[in-house]
Chain A
Amino acid sequence: MFFLLLPPLAGIFLGSVNTARAADNCVITSSDLDAVTAAAAQGLMAELAARRALLTRTIACAKAEAQSLQNNLNGLSVSDDEKTIRAQLSDRLNDAMNYYDLELEKVGGAGITGTQIIAKEVFAWRGNNYNFLAAQVANFTLWVKSQNLFETALARLRSVESIVSFLEQAGAQNELRSDLASAQVLVQDARNENDSARNAFLQSLPPDQTLALIQQSLQSLSDAYQKFFDISTVVQTLLPTKP
Protein backbone atom coordinates (compact mmCIF):
# COMPACT_ATOMS: atom_id res chain seq x y z
CA MET A 1 0.00 0.00 0.00
CA PHE A 2 2.78 2.40 0.94
CA PHE A 3 4.61 1.65 -2.31
CA LEU A 4 1.44 2.44 -4.27
CA LEU A 5 1.32 5.91 -2.65
CA LEU A 6 5.00 6.57 -3.09
CA PRO A 7 5.06 7.70 -6.75
CA PRO A 8 2.26 10.30 -6.38
CA LEU A 9 3.79 11.60 -3.15
CA ALA A 10 7.19 11.84 -4.80
CA GLY A 11 5.58 13.57 -7.74
CA ILE A 12 3.96 16.16 -5.48
CA PHE A 13 7.22 16.72 -3.63
CA LEU A 14 9.29 16.99 -6.79
CA GLY A 15 6.62 19.16 -8.35
CA SER A 16 6.79 21.66 -5.50
CA VAL A 17 10.58 21.63 -5.67
CA ASN A 18 10.47 22.25 -9.42
CA THR A 19 7.94 25.07 -8.93
CA ALA A 20 10.14 26.69 -6.32
CA ARG A 21 13.16 26.41 -8.62
CA ALA A 22 11.14 27.77 -11.51
CA ALA A 23 10.23 30.83 -9.46
CA ASP A 24 13.88 31.42 -8.66
CA ASN A 25 14.44 32.76 -12.20
CA CYS A 26 11.67 35.18 -13.02
CA VAL A 27 13.48 37.07 -15.72
CA ILE A 28 11.69 35.72 -18.77
CA THR A 29 13.11 36.80 -22.10
CA SER A 30 12.11 36.54 -25.74
CA SER A 31 14.88 33.97 -26.16
CA ASP A 32 12.92 31.66 -23.82
CA LEU A 33 10.07 31.74 -26.33
CA ASP A 34 12.56 31.27 -29.15
CA ALA A 35 13.85 28.17 -27.35
CA VAL A 36 10.35 26.68 -27.48
CA THR A 37 10.20 27.34 -31.20
CA ALA A 38 13.62 25.74 -31.64
CA ALA A 39 12.55 22.71 -29.61
CA ALA A 40 9.55 22.25 -31.89
CA ALA A 41 11.95 21.61 -34.74
CA GLN A 42 13.47 18.72 -32.76
CA GLY A 43 10.20 16.85 -32.38
CA LEU A 44 7.00 16.78 -30.37
CA MET A 45 8.54 15.47 -27.15
CA ALA A 46 11.18 18.18 -27.13
CA GLU A 47 8.56 20.84 -27.82
CA LEU A 48 6.28 19.49 -25.09
CA ALA A 49 9.10 19.47 -22.54
CA ALA A 50 10.11 23.02 -23.47
CA ARG A 51 6.51 24.26 -23.29
CA ARG A 52 5.88 22.60 -19.93
CA ALA A 53 9.10 24.00 -18.49
CA LEU A 54 8.48 27.57 -19.61
CA LEU A 55 4.79 27.50 -18.66
CA THR A 56 5.63 26.12 -15.21
CA ARG A 57 8.23 28.81 -14.77
CA THR A 58 5.89 31.55 -15.96
CA ILE A 59 3.01 30.55 -13.66
CA ALA A 60 5.41 30.06 -10.74
CA CYS A 61 6.68 33.58 -11.34
CA ALA A 62 3.10 34.86 -11.44
CA LYS A 63 2.51 33.20 -8.07
CA ALA A 64 5.76 34.65 -6.69
CA GLU A 65 4.61 38.06 -7.87
CA ALA A 66 1.32 37.66 -5.97
CA GLN A 67 3.24 36.48 -2.90
CA SER A 68 5.51 39.50 -3.10
CA LEU A 69 2.52 41.82 -3.33
CA GLN A 70 0.97 40.15 -0.30
CA ASN A 71 4.19 40.47 1.69
CA ASN A 72 4.38 44.17 0.89
CA LEU A 73 0.71 44.58 1.76
CA ASN A 74 1.08 42.84 5.11
CA GLY A 75 4.15 44.94 5.86
CA LEU A 76 2.17 48.18 5.69
CA SER A 77 1.49 50.00 8.93
CA VAL A 78 -2.28 50.55 8.96
CA SER A 79 -4.96 51.62 11.42
CA ASP A 80 -7.70 49.29 12.66
CA ASP A 81 -10.19 50.65 10.08
CA GLU A 82 -7.76 49.99 7.26
CA LYS A 83 -7.01 46.48 8.44
CA THR A 84 -10.37 45.38 7.05
CA ILE A 85 -9.43 46.61 3.58
CA ARG A 86 -6.00 45.03 3.81
CA ALA A 87 -7.52 41.71 4.89
CA GLN A 88 -9.90 41.77 1.91
CA LEU A 89 -7.06 42.40 -0.53
CA SER A 90 -4.84 39.80 1.14
CA ASP A 91 -7.61 37.20 0.89
CA ARG A 92 -8.00 37.91 -2.81
CA LEU A 93 -4.24 37.47 -3.27
CA ASN A 94 -4.54 34.12 -1.49
CA ASP A 95 -7.25 33.17 -3.97
CA ALA A 96 -4.93 34.18 -6.81
CA MET A 97 -2.10 32.04 -5.46
CA ASN A 98 -4.47 29.08 -5.06
CA TYR A 99 -5.56 29.55 -8.68
CA TYR A 100 -1.94 29.49 -9.85
CA ASP A 101 -1.32 26.30 -7.83
CA LEU A 102 -4.28 24.60 -9.51
CA GLU A 103 -3.03 25.61 -12.96
CA LEU A 104 0.49 24.42 -12.12
CA GLU A 105 -0.90 21.00 -11.22
CA LYS A 106 -2.51 20.77 -14.65
CA VAL A 107 0.72 21.52 -16.54
CA GLY A 108 2.45 18.26 -15.59
CA GLY A 109 -0.20 16.12 -17.31
CA ALA A 110 -0.94 18.39 -20.27
CA GLY A 111 0.00 17.78 -23.89
CA ILE A 112 1.07 20.50 -26.31
CA THR A 113 -2.50 21.64 -26.89
CA GLY A 114 -3.18 21.39 -23.17
CA THR A 115 -0.29 23.73 -22.34
CA GLN A 116 -1.58 26.17 -24.96
CA ILE A 117 -5.04 26.11 -23.40
CA ILE A 118 -3.66 26.55 -19.88
CA ALA A 119 -1.54 29.51 -21.03
CA LYS A 120 -4.57 31.08 -22.67
CA GLU A 121 -6.75 30.54 -19.59
CA VAL A 122 -4.18 31.99 -17.21
CA PHE A 123 -3.62 34.96 -19.50
CA ALA A 124 -7.37 35.65 -19.70
CA TRP A 125 -7.81 35.17 -15.95
CA ARG A 126 -5.04 37.64 -15.21
CA GLY A 127 -6.61 40.18 -17.54
CA ASN A 128 -10.03 39.81 -15.95
CA ASN A 129 -9.00 39.41 -12.31
CA TYR A 130 -5.41 39.58 -11.25
CA ASN A 131 -4.30 42.76 -13.00
CA PHE A 132 -7.18 44.68 -11.40
CA LEU A 133 -6.29 43.21 -8.02
CA ALA A 134 -2.62 44.14 -8.44
CA ALA A 135 -3.62 47.68 -9.42
CA GLN A 136 -5.91 47.92 -6.38
CA VAL A 137 -3.11 46.73 -4.08
CA ALA A 138 -0.80 49.35 -5.60
CA ASN A 139 -3.49 51.98 -5.03
CA PHE A 140 -4.00 50.89 -1.43
CA THR A 141 -0.25 51.04 -0.77
CA LEU A 142 -0.12 54.55 -2.21
CA TRP A 143 -3.17 55.57 -0.16
CA VAL A 144 -1.82 54.21 3.13
CA LYS A 145 1.51 55.94 2.60
CA SER A 146 -0.31 59.23 1.95
CA GLN A 147 -2.25 59.27 5.23
CA ASN A 148 0.45 61.02 7.25
CA LEU A 149 0.32 63.89 4.74
CA PHE A 150 -3.31 64.57 5.64
CA GLU A 151 -2.53 64.56 9.37
CA THR A 152 0.43 66.89 8.82
CA ALA A 153 -1.66 69.25 6.69
CA LEU A 154 -4.40 69.39 9.35
CA ALA A 155 -1.85 70.20 12.07
CA ARG A 156 -0.36 72.87 9.80
CA LEU A 157 -3.82 74.37 9.22
CA ARG A 158 -4.47 74.60 12.98
CA SER A 159 -1.15 76.40 13.52
CA VAL A 160 -1.81 78.81 10.68
CA GLU A 161 -5.30 79.49 12.04
CA SER A 162 -3.84 80.56 15.38
CA ILE A 163 -1.37 82.92 13.67
CA VAL A 164 -4.06 84.50 11.53
CA SER A 165 -6.35 84.94 14.55
CA PHE A 166 -3.54 86.59 16.46
CA LEU A 167 -2.74 88.96 13.59
CA GLU A 168 -6.42 89.78 13.18
CA GLN A 169 -6.53 90.85 16.82
CA ALA A 170 -3.54 93.07 16.17
CA GLY A 171 -5.13 94.58 13.07
CA ALA A 172 -7.56 93.40 10.40
CA GLN A 173 -6.00 91.53 7.50
CA ASN A 174 -8.72 90.67 4.99
CA GLU A 175 -6.26 89.02 2.64
CA LEU A 176 -5.07 86.64 5.34
CA ARG A 177 -8.63 85.72 6.28
CA SER A 178 -9.51 85.07 2.64
CA ASP A 179 -6.46 82.83 2.07
CA LEU A 180 -7.11 80.99 5.31
CA ALA A 181 -10.74 80.34 4.34
CA SER A 182 -9.58 78.93 0.99
CA ALA A 183 -7.02 76.73 2.72
CA GLN A 184 -9.66 75.46 5.15
CA VAL A 185 -11.99 74.53 2.29
CA LEU A 186 -9.20 72.80 0.36
CA VAL A 187 -8.01 70.77 3.36
CA GLN A 188 -11.60 69.74 4.05
CA ASP A 189 -12.07 68.78 0.38
CA ALA A 190 -8.88 66.73 0.51
CA ARG A 191 -10.06 64.91 3.62
CA ASN A 192 -13.48 64.22 2.09
CA GLU A 193 -11.89 62.85 -1.08
CA ASN A 194 -9.53 60.78 1.04
CA ASP A 195 -12.54 59.29 2.86
CA SER A 196 -14.19 58.61 -0.50
CA ALA A 197 -11.06 56.71 -1.57
CA ARG A 198 -11.30 54.63 1.61
CA ASN A 199 -14.94 53.83 0.82
CA ALA A 200 -13.96 52.98 -2.75
CA PHE A 201 -11.61 50.31 -1.39
CA LEU A 202 -14.31 48.96 0.90
CA GLN A 203 -16.80 48.82 -1.98
CA SER A 204 -14.21 47.27 -4.33
CA LEU A 205 -14.74 49.95 -6.96
CA PRO A 206 -12.58 49.71 -10.12
CA PRO A 207 -8.93 50.65 -9.53
CA ASP A 208 -9.03 53.60 -11.92
CA GLN A 209 -11.88 55.21 -9.94
CA THR A 210 -10.05 54.68 -6.66
CA LEU A 211 -6.85 56.08 -8.10
CA ALA A 212 -8.70 59.13 -9.42
CA LEU A 213 -10.01 59.86 -5.91
CA ILE A 214 -6.53 59.51 -4.44
CA GLN A 215 -5.15 61.86 -7.08
CA GLN A 216 -7.92 64.40 -6.40
CA SER A 217 -7.32 64.33 -2.65
CA LEU A 218 -3.58 64.86 -3.09
CA GLN A 219 -4.17 67.67 -5.57
CA SER A 220 -6.51 69.41 -3.10
CA LEU A 221 -3.86 69.05 -0.43
CA SER A 222 -1.24 70.52 -2.76
CA ASP A 223 -3.55 73.48 -3.52
CA ALA A 224 -4.05 74.02 0.22
CA TYR A 225 -0.30 74.28 0.66
CA GLN A 226 -0.22 76.92 -2.07
CA LYS A 227 -2.56 78.95 0.15
CA PHE A 228 -0.27 78.31 3.12
CA PHE A 229 2.58 79.73 1.06
CA ASP A 230 0.49 82.82 0.27
CA ILE A 231 -0.28 83.28 3.97
CA SER A 232 3.38 82.77 4.81
CA THR A 233 4.38 85.51 2.37
CA VAL A 234 1.96 87.98 3.94
CA VAL A 235 3.01 87.08 7.48
CA GLN A 236 6.69 87.42 6.60
CA THR A 237 5.90 90.89 5.29
CA LEU A 238 4.06 91.87 8.47
CA LEU A 239 6.51 90.26 10.87
CA PRO A 240 9.89 89.94 9.21
CA THR A 241 11.94 87.45 11.18
CA LYS A 242 15.22 88.09 9.39
CA PRO A 243 17.11 91.38 9.28
Chain B
Amino acid sequence: MNLFQILKQFKNIEPDPAFKETSRRAILAYRPVAPTTHLWSAQRTLWRIIETGAAVALTGFFVLLITGAFSGSRFVPVQYSAVDPQSLHAEAQAIDIQIQLANVTYAESAVESTVQTAGGKLLGNPKKASSTAPSAARGTTEATSTITIDQALQGLSQ
Protein backbone atom coordinates (compact mmCIF):
# COMPACT_ATOMS: atom_id res chain seq x y z
CA MET B 1 0.00 0.00 0.00
CA ASN B 2 1.48 3.28 -1.06
CA LEU B 3 1.14 6.63 0.63
CA PHE B 4 -1.77 7.92 -1.50
CA GLN B 5 -3.94 4.94 -0.65
CA ILE B 6 -3.31 5.46 3.01
CA LEU B 7 -4.31 9.14 2.81
CA LYS B 8 -7.53 8.23 0.95
CA GLN B 9 -8.45 5.88 3.77
CA PHE B 10 -8.28 8.84 6.22
CA LYS B 11 -11.41 10.30 4.60
CA ASN B 12 -13.37 7.39 5.97
CA ILE B 13 -12.39 8.07 9.59
CA GLU B 14 -15.47 8.87 11.80
CA PRO B 15 -15.82 9.61 15.51
CA ASP B 16 -17.19 7.17 17.92
CA PRO B 17 -21.02 7.36 17.71
CA ALA B 18 -21.38 7.68 21.49
CA PHE B 19 -18.87 10.56 21.64
CA LYS B 20 -20.56 12.18 18.67
CA GLU B 21 -23.91 12.10 20.40
CA THR B 22 -22.51 13.46 23.71
CA SER B 23 -20.75 16.33 21.98
CA ARG B 24 -23.84 17.30 20.00
CA ARG B 25 -25.93 17.44 23.16
CA ALA B 26 -23.35 19.55 24.94
CA ILE B 27 -23.23 22.02 22.05
CA LEU B 28 -27.01 22.28 21.78
CA ALA B 29 -27.36 22.70 25.55
CA TYR B 30 -25.02 25.75 25.59
CA ARG B 31 -26.73 29.13 26.23
CA PRO B 32 -24.82 32.29 25.43
CA VAL B 33 -24.33 34.67 28.42
CA ALA B 34 -26.26 37.99 28.20
CA PRO B 35 -23.97 41.04 27.76
CA THR B 36 -25.25 42.71 31.04
CA THR B 37 -27.01 41.05 33.87
CA HIS B 38 -29.52 42.96 36.06
CA LEU B 39 -27.44 42.57 39.20
CA TRP B 40 -24.28 43.85 37.56
CA SER B 41 -26.16 46.96 36.27
CA ALA B 42 -27.45 47.82 39.74
CA GLN B 43 -23.96 47.65 41.22
CA ARG B 44 -22.59 49.87 38.51
CA THR B 45 -25.36 52.43 39.01
CA LEU B 46 -24.79 52.44 42.75
CA TRP B 47 -21.08 52.94 42.26
CA ARG B 48 -21.68 55.86 39.92
CA ILE B 49 -24.01 57.49 42.45
CA ILE B 50 -21.34 57.15 45.11
CA GLU B 51 -18.73 58.65 42.78
CA THR B 52 -20.94 61.60 41.88
CA GLY B 53 -21.88 62.20 45.51
CA ALA B 54 -18.25 62.17 46.58
CA ALA B 55 -17.36 64.64 43.83
CA VAL B 56 -20.16 67.00 44.83
CA ALA B 57 -19.26 66.74 48.52
CA LEU B 58 -15.60 67.48 47.84
CA THR B 59 -16.49 70.45 45.65
CA GLY B 60 -18.80 71.81 48.34
CA PHE B 61 -16.16 71.36 51.01
CA PHE B 62 -13.59 73.33 49.04
CA VAL B 63 -16.11 76.07 48.25
CA LEU B 64 -16.91 76.44 51.97
CA LEU B 65 -13.21 76.36 52.80
CA ILE B 66 -12.46 79.13 50.31
CA THR B 67 -15.36 81.31 51.47
CA GLY B 68 -14.25 81.01 55.10
CA ALA B 69 -17.29 79.15 56.40
CA PHE B 70 -15.09 77.23 58.80
CA SER B 71 -13.45 80.31 60.26
CA GLY B 72 -14.78 79.46 63.73
CA SER B 73 -13.95 75.81 63.51
CA ARG B 74 -11.20 74.14 65.46
CA PHE B 75 -10.23 72.28 62.30
CA VAL B 76 -9.07 75.43 60.59
CA PRO B 77 -5.73 77.00 61.47
CA VAL B 78 -5.91 80.08 63.70
CA GLN B 79 -5.79 83.34 61.74
CA TYR B 80 -3.15 85.53 63.31
CA SER B 81 -4.14 88.41 61.05
CA ALA B 82 -6.89 89.04 63.63
CA VAL B 83 -4.29 90.68 65.86
CA ASP B 84 -2.45 92.43 63.07
CA PRO B 85 -1.73 95.94 64.45
CA GLN B 86 -2.25 97.64 61.10
CA SER B 87 -5.76 96.34 60.50
CA LEU B 88 -6.63 96.93 64.16
CA HIS B 89 -5.38 100.49 63.84
CA ALA B 90 -7.51 101.08 60.72
CA GLU B 91 -10.67 99.88 62.46
CA ALA B 92 -9.92 101.85 65.64
CA GLN B 93 -9.33 104.95 63.54
CA ALA B 94 -12.72 104.57 61.86
CA ILE B 95 -14.33 104.50 65.33
CA ASP B 96 -12.40 107.58 66.43
CA ILE B 97 -13.64 109.44 63.35
CA GLN B 98 -17.23 108.57 64.23
CA ILE B 99 -16.63 109.76 67.80
CA GLN B 100 -15.33 113.07 66.48
CA LEU B 101 -18.37 113.38 64.22
CA ALA B 102 -20.62 112.72 67.20
CA ASN B 103 -18.80 115.39 69.18
CA VAL B 104 -19.22 117.85 66.32
CA THR B 105 -22.94 117.11 66.27
CA TYR B 106 -23.02 117.69 70.02
CA ALA B 107 -21.13 120.98 69.68
CA GLU B 108 -23.52 122.14 66.94
CA SER B 109 -26.60 121.46 69.03
CA ALA B 110 -24.98 123.29 71.95
CA VAL B 111 -24.31 126.36 69.78
CA GLU B 112 -27.83 126.12 68.40
CA SER B 113 -29.36 126.35 71.83
CA THR B 114 -27.10 129.31 72.58
CA VAL B 115 -28.41 131.09 69.48
CA GLN B 116 -31.96 130.41 70.50
CA THR B 117 -31.53 131.66 74.04
CA ALA B 118 -29.48 134.66 72.95
CA GLY B 119 -32.44 135.79 70.84
CA GLY B 120 -32.40 139.38 69.64
CA LYS B 121 -28.95 140.10 71.04
CA LEU B 122 -27.45 138.42 68.00
CA LEU B 123 -29.26 140.75 65.67
CA GLY B 124 -27.25 143.70 66.83
CA ASN B 125 -24.16 142.17 65.25
CA PRO B 126 -25.08 139.40 62.83
CA LYS B 127 -21.59 139.38 61.36
CA LYS B 128 -20.17 138.29 64.68
CA ALA B 129 -22.90 135.73 65.17
CA SER B 130 -22.30 134.08 61.83
CA SER B 131 -18.92 132.73 62.89
CA THR B 132 -20.59 130.45 65.41
CA ALA B 133 -23.77 129.82 63.47
CA PRO B 134 -24.93 126.21 63.42
CA SER B 135 -24.75 124.56 60.05
CA ALA B 136 -28.00 122.85 61.04
CA ALA B 137 -29.73 126.16 60.70
CA ARG B 138 -28.10 126.44 57.68
CA GLY B 139 -27.59 128.99 55.26
CA THR B 140 -24.01 128.51 54.36
CA THR B 141 -21.29 130.04 56.47
CA GLU B 142 -18.48 130.74 54.06
CA ALA B 143 -18.66 134.54 54.21
CA THR B 144 -18.36 136.38 57.50
CA SER B 145 -21.56 138.34 56.73
CA THR B 146 -23.65 135.22 56.12
CA ILE B 147 -26.49 134.75 58.58
CA THR B 148 -28.58 131.73 59.40
CA ILE B 149 -32.24 131.21 58.61
CA ASP B 150 -33.09 131.70 62.28
CA GLN B 151 -31.15 134.97 62.40
CA ALA B 152 -32.88 136.20 59.26
CA LEU B 153 -36.27 135.36 60.78
CA GLN B 154 -35.36 137.17 63.97
CA GLY B 155 -34.34 140.23 61.97
CA LEU B 156 -37.57 140.19 59.97
CA SER B 157 -39.67 139.86 63.11
CA GLN B 158 -38.60 143.36 64.21
Contact = CB atoms under 8 A, between A and B. Distances in A.
B113 to A, nearest CB: 9
B145 interface: yes
B99 A33 contact: no
A241 B85 CA distance: 12
Nearest to A241: B80
A96 B114 CA distance: 23
Contacts of A162: 71-72, 78-79, 82
Interface in B17-35: none
Contacts of B7: none
Contact of A135 (B136, B150, B154): B136
Contacts of A229: 85, 88, 92
Chain A interface bracket (under 10, 10 to 19, 20 to 34, 35 or more):
35 or more
Interface in A131-177: 131, 134-135, 138-139, 142, 145-146, 149, 152-153, 156, 158-160, 162-163, 166
Contact of A126 (B78, B109, B149, B156): B149
A228 B142 CA distance: 42
B82 A54 contact: no
A51 B156 contact: yes
Chain B interface bracket (under 10, 10 to 19, 20 to 34, 35 or more):
35 or more
A236 B83 CA distance: 8
A236 B80 CA distance: 9
A158 B127 CA distance: 54
A88 interface: no
B63 interface: no
A149 B139 contact: no
B95 A135 contact: no
Nearest to A117: B157
Contacts of B84: 232
A65 interface: yes
Nearest to B130: A30
B153 interface: yes
A65 B149 contact: yes
Given A28-B147, A29-B146, A211-B106, A152 B156 contact: no
Contacts of B103: 215
Interface string A19-30: 000000011111
A131 B116 contact: yes
30 contacts: A27-B146, A28-B146, A28-B148, A28-B149, A28-B152, A29-B145, A30-B126, A33-B126, A33-B152, A36-B155, A51-B156, A58-B153, A61-B149, A119-B157, A126-B149, A149-B91, A149-B98, A152-B91, A152-B94, A162-B79, A163-B82, A211-B102, A215-B99, A215-B102, A219-B99, A222-B95, A231-B83, A232-B85, A235-B80, A236-B85
The 7 closest A-B pairs by CB, nearest first: A159-B82, A119-B156, A123-B153, A232-B83, A120-B157, A119-B157, A225-B92
